[in-house]
Structure 1
Amino acid sequence: MTHTAQTTEPTAPPTAGNPWTMLAVATLGFAVCFWAWALLSPLGPLFREKGTLGTLSESDVALLVAVPVVVGSLGRILVGALTDRLGGRVMFPAVSAVTILPVLFIGLFAQTSYWAMIGGGFVLGIAGTAFAVGVPFVNAWFPPERRGLAVGVFGAGMGGTAISALTTVKLWTGLGETAPFFIVAAVLAAYAVLAWVVLRDAPGRTIPTVPLAKRLAATARLPITWQACLLYAVAFGGYVAFSVYLPAYLKTDYQLTPADAANRMAGFVVVAVVMRPVGGWLSDRFGPVPVLATGYAVVVVGAAVAATHPLLEHVGTVAFLAMAAALGSGSGATFALVARVTDPSRVGGVTGLVGAAGGLGGFVPPLLMGYIYGRTDSYAIGLGLLSVTAALTLLLTLTVVRKGVPA
C-alpha cells in the first residue's frame, strides 16, 4: 500500500525553523480559518428571525449554512495538491489572506440579500481548505514516530468552530451586525503576516514536478486514499454531524432548552477536539489500526445504546461523550495512518481527498436523521444505522486496512 515512485525536482533547500514552532503557528492558522469558515452557521437562525434576507424557510437556512462547508470540503482536493507543490509557507498566508475578502463582503454588503450571502458563503468556503495545507506541512517537519501526535495536535485546530459558536452571535447582537466580520478579518490579516514571517517549509521537502491533474489522478488510485476516505468519512463526518445536529436532537427528543442543548453540544465538541491529538499520540505508540478499531467499536456500542432513548443524565450522556472521544481519536488516528503509509510528497494530495470525504460525510447523517424522524417520529432508526455503519467500518479496519500497514 506504500507508494514512493514519483517524479520530483531536487529537494527544497534546507531552511531554519523549529518543528514545534511550526506546529504551533500552523495549528493557530487552522483554528483562525475554521473560525472564519463557521461564521454563518450560528447566524443562520438569526437571519431567518430578523427577515433582512427575506422570508427564509428551514431549507433556505440549511443551504446558507451548508454552502461554505461543502465548498471548503471539496476545495481541499485542489489545495492539498497545491500544497505538495508550493509548500505550506506560501499556502497558509494565501488561504488566510484570500478569506478576508468574503468575510468583509458578507459583513459589509451581503446582509440584506440572500443570494449575495450565498455568493459570499461560496467564497468563504476557501477558509475550510486550510486543513489540507496544514497536514502535509506539519507531517514534513516531524519524524515518522512523532507524526501521529503532531498531526493530531494540528487537527485540534478544528476547535475554531467552537470559537465561532461561542462568540459570533454575542458579537453580532452586542456590538453590531458587522462586528464579528471585522474582528475575524483583522485576525486573518494578522495571522497572514505572522505566517509569512514565521513559517518555513521543512528542510529537504520534496517538490513534485508531475502536472497537477496527473498527480490527483494518481493519488485517487492509491489504496490508502479510498481506505482513509471511508475511515475519515465515518470518524470526522460523525463529529461534524453531531456538532451540527446534536442541539436539534436534544431539544426534540429530550425537551431541553436551546441553551442547555447548545452547552451539551459544546461539551461533545470539546471532548472530540481534545481526543484528536490523543488519538494521534496513541497511534504513534500502538499503531493506528488498534486505535481506529477501538474507536469504531465504541461508536457501535454508543450509537446502539443511544438508539434506545436512555436517561440523558446518566447512560445517555456517557454514550454521547464516549462517542465524542471515539470519533475524535479516530480522526487523529486516520491521519497517523496516512502519514505512516504515504510517500511524503503525496501527503497533501491524499489529505485533500480524505479531508473532502470527512467534510462531506458530516452532511449525510443529519439529512438522514431528519428525513427518518419526519416520517417515523423517532431517532432510533438513524442511530441504529450509525451503529451498523461503524460496525462495517470496524470490519474494514481489521481486514483490508490492517493488511496494508507495515509492521
Structure 2
Amino acid sequence: MDNSKFSLFSFSGKMKVLHLSWMAFFITFVVWFNFAPLLQMVKETLGLSTQEIKTLLILNVALTIPARVVIGMLTDRFGPRLVYSALLAVCSIPCFMFAFADSFIQAAIARFLLGFIGAGFVVGIRLVSEWFPHNELGTAEGVYGGWGNFGSAAAAFTLPTIALLFGGDEGWRYAVAITGLMSLLFSVIFYRSVSDTPKGSTYFKPKHVTAMEVTSKGDFFFLLIMKIPMYAVLGLLAWKLSPSGIDMLSDFVVNAIYAGLVALYFLEVSQVWKVNKTVFEKPVEEIHRYKFKQVAVLNVLYFATFGSELAVVSMLPLFFAETFELTPVLAGMVASAYAFMNLMSRPGGGWISDKFGRKPTLLILTAGLAIGYFLMGQVGSQWPVWLAVVAAMLCSFFVQAGEGAVFATVPLIKRRMTGQIAGMTGAYGNVGAVTYLTILSFVDYQTFFYVIAATAVLGFVTLIFMEEPTGKIAEVNKDGSVTLIDVSN
C-alpha cells in the first residue's frame, strides 16, 4: 500500500499507476466503441444491410460477458501488469482485422473478438486496489472508471473527424487502425511503467483460478444461482441472431449454441465443486470467511447502473431525434450530455463512499437512480428540449455515481479474489445492457425507462441485506503468516 498524498496532478508512485491505469482503460473503450461513430461509413463501404449492421453491434458486446470473468481470474493469478499489457497488445489484432475487412463475415469475426477488450476494466480495479488505502480507494477507483469510461465518448467525437481528414470512402479504415496502433503501443508503455504492488507489498493470489472460492455451504449454491443469468443472456444473444430474430444463424446452429451453453454451465458447476467441496467437509475459519451475498448485491446494482448506461447510450440519440424531431447530428450532440457526466459523477460516487460509507451511499444513489429513470419515463414531446436534457443529466449522475460506489466496495470483500469479484460484477453490467436492449425491442421508450426504474427499486431492496465492509481482510502469505488489510477506519 502506498500512503503518499493523493494528488491528481502528481505523476509518481500510486498516482502514476492510477493515471496509467485509466489511460489503459480509456484506450480499451476507444477500441471497443470505434465502430458506432463510423457506422454509416462502414455500411456504405462494405455494402452492408441494416440487419448486418445491427448484427455487428450485437457481436461487439457478446464476448465481453465471459471475457470479464476470464480476465478477472487471469488478473488474480498472473497480476494486472502482465494481463493488461497482453490484453492491449492481443486485441489490437482484431482491431486491425476490422480496419481492413472487405466482407461482412470478416467484419463480424473481428467485432466478435473485439468484445474481449471490454474486459480490460476489470484488470485496473485490482491494480488500483493494490496501491490505494481503503479511505482513498473509492475516489481512486472512481477516477479510474470514470475517466477511462470516457473513451467511448472520445471515440464518438474524434474518430469521424479523423476519418474525414484521411478522406475518401476508406477514411474510416485509417481511423480504426489508429486506435489499434494506440492499443499496441500503450501495451508496451504500460508493461514498462507499472508494477503490480508498491515495493515490499505482497500480491495475494487465490488458491484456485478455475472457479470462485466461497466459504459456506449456502454460498456454494448461491454462487451457482448467480451464474445462471450470465449463461441465459448469452442464450438470449443467440436467439437474437436466430431466424426468430435477425436471421443470421440457422436454427441448427442456434440450438447447438444453446446445448453448448448448458454443457458449459455444468462444466462450471463441476469446477465450483472441485474448488469448494471442502466447505461441506469442515467449516472455514471465521477469520478467512467472506459473505457471497455482498458480491450478489453488487452484481444486481451493476446490472441496473452500468447495464442501463450501456443501453441508454445506445438508444438516447434516437429517443431525442424521434421525441423532439431533431436532426441525427443534433440529437447525438444533445444525447452526449449523458455520457459526459462520467468525468465527474463516477469519481464523485467513489469519493462520497470514502467519506460517508459504502452502504449509505449506495442506498441514496440507488434511490436517486430509480427516481431519475421514472422521470425519464415522463419525458415527452411537450417538454422543452433543455428540460429533457437536464433530466437525462440528472439521471446520468445517479447512474454513474452508483457505478463508482459499487466499485468502491468491490475491492473490500476479499483482496486475493478482487479480480474474480470485479469480473463477475462487471459481467453483470453487460448482462443488464443486453437485457434492457432486448426489452426495448418489444416496448416503447417510456416503458423501457420504467423497467429500468423498477430494477433499481429491486436493487434498493437487495441493498438492505448488504453489510457495510468493516474491520480487516485476512490474507495468508506464502510462509503461512497472516496479513490483515484494513477495509474501514
Give the TM-score of the pair, scaled to structure 2.
0.73
Instruction: Please say if 1:99 is aligned against 2:91.
Output: yes
Q: 1:231: how far off?
A: 0.5
Q: 1:211: how far off?
A: 3.1
Instruction: Please say if 1:400 is aligned against 2:397.
Output: no
Alignment partners' CA distance in 1, 2:312 and 2:384: 16
CA deviations over 1:76-121 (Å, ceiling 9, x no partner): 100011101111111111111101111111112x1x2111111011
* Contact map agreement 2:125 2:411 (CA 8 A) in 1: no
Alignment partners' CA distance in 2, 1:293 and 1:187: 39
* Contact map agreement 1:140 1:205 (CA 8 A) in 2: no
Q: 1:262: how far off?
A: 0.8
Other-structure match for 1:288: 358
Gaps of 5+ in 2: 1-11, 224-291, 471-487
Other-structure match for 2:69: 77
Q: 1:248: how far off?
A: 1.0
Alignment partners' CA distance in 1, 2:393 and 2:172: 34
Other-structure match for 1:380: 446
Instruction: Please say if 1:43 is aligned against 2:114.
Output: no
* Contact map agreement 2:71 2:123 (CA 8 A) in 1: yes
Q: Closer, same or farther in 2 for the Cα pair 1:366/1:250, shift >3 Å? A: farther
Q: 1:314: how far off?
A: 4.5
Other-structure match for 1:389: 455
* Contact map agreement 2:149 2:342 (CA 8 A) in 1: no
Instruction: Please say if 1:205 is aligned against 2:202.
Output: yes
CA deviations over 1:259-301 (Å, ceiling 9, x no partner): 1111122111011332001100110000122222222222222
Other-structure match for 1:8: none
Instruction: Please say if 1:260 is aligned against 2:300.
Output: no
Alignment partners' CA distance in 2, 1:312 and 1:153: 33
Q: 1:216: how far off?
A: 6.5
Instruction: Please say if 1:328 is aligned against 2:407.
Output: no
Alignment partners' CA distance in 2, 1:72 and 1:217: 24
Which AA in structure 1 matches 2:452?
A: L
Give me the identity figure in percent: 25
SS at match of 2:91: helix
* Contact map agreement 1:74 1:356 (CA 8 A) in 2: yes
RMSD: 2.1
SS at match of 2:443: helix
Which AA in structure 2 matches 1:235?
A: T
* Contact map agreement 1:44 1:65 (CA 8 A) in 2: no
* Contact map agreement 2:141 2:408 (CA 8 A) in 1: yes
Instruction: Please say if 1:226 is aligned against 2:281.
Output: no
Map residues 318-357 of structure 1 onto 2, 5 A cutoff: 318-340=390-412, 342-357=413-428
Alignment length (residue pairs): 379
Which AA in structure 2 matches 1:211?
A: H
Q: Closer, same or farther in 2 for the Cα pair 1:177/1:315, shift >3 Å? A: closer
Other-structure match for 1:145: 135
Structure with the higher fraction of residues in helix conformation: 1
Instruction: Please say if 1:126 is aligned against 2:116.
Output: yes
Other-structure match for 2:26: 31
Which AA in structure 2 matches 1:386?
A: I
Q: Closer, same or farther in 2 for the Cα pair 1:214/1:237, shift >3 Å? A: closer
Q: Closer, same or farther in 2 for the Cα pair 1:55/1:127, shift >3 Å? A: closer
Alignment partners' CA distance in 2, 1:358 and 1:209: 24
Indicate the larger mover: 216-225 or 114-123.
Answer: 216-225
Alignment partners' CA distance in 1, 2:359 and 2:112: 36
Other-structure match for 1:7: none
Which AA in structure 1 matches 2:208?
A: P
Other-structure match for 1:164: 155
Q: Closer, same or farther in 2 for the Cα pair 1:115/1:216, shift >3 Å? A: farther
Alignment partners' CA distance in 1, 2:446 and 2:81: 47
Which AA in structure 1 matches 2:212?
A: R
Which AA in structure 2 matches 1:309?
A: V
Which AA in structure 2 matches 1:38?
A: F
Q: 1:131: how far off?
A: 0.5
Alignment partners' CA distance in 2, 1:56 and 1:365: 24
SS at match of 1:183: helix
Q: 1:158: how far off?
A: 0.7
Other-structure match for 2:263: none
Which AA in structure 2 matches 1:71?
A: L
Alignment partners' CA distance in 2, 1:305 and 1:215: 39
Q: 1:363: how far off?
A: 2.4
SS at match of 1:206: coil
Alignment partners' CA distance in 2, 1:196 and 1:39: 24
Alignment partners' CA distance in 2, 1:209 and 1:284: 26
Gaps of 5+ in 1: 1-16, 374-378
* Larger relative contact order (CA 8 Å, sep ≥ 6): 1
Q: 1:182: how far off?
A: 2.6
Alignment partners' CA distance in 2, 1:35 and 1:91: 19
Q: 1:302: how far off?
A: 2.2
Alignment partners' CA distance in 2, 1:193 and 1:119: 26
Q: Which has the larger radius of gyration?
A: 2
Q: Closer, same or farther in 2 for the Cα pair 1:292/1:45, shift >3 Å? A: farther
Alignment partners' CA distance in 2, 1:356 and 1:90: 21
* Contact map agreement 1:272 1:326 (CA 8 A) in 2: no
Other-structure match for 1:364: 435
Instruction: Please say if 1:68 is aligned against 2:60.
Output: yes
* Contact map agreement 1:172 1:180 (CA 8 A) in 2: yes
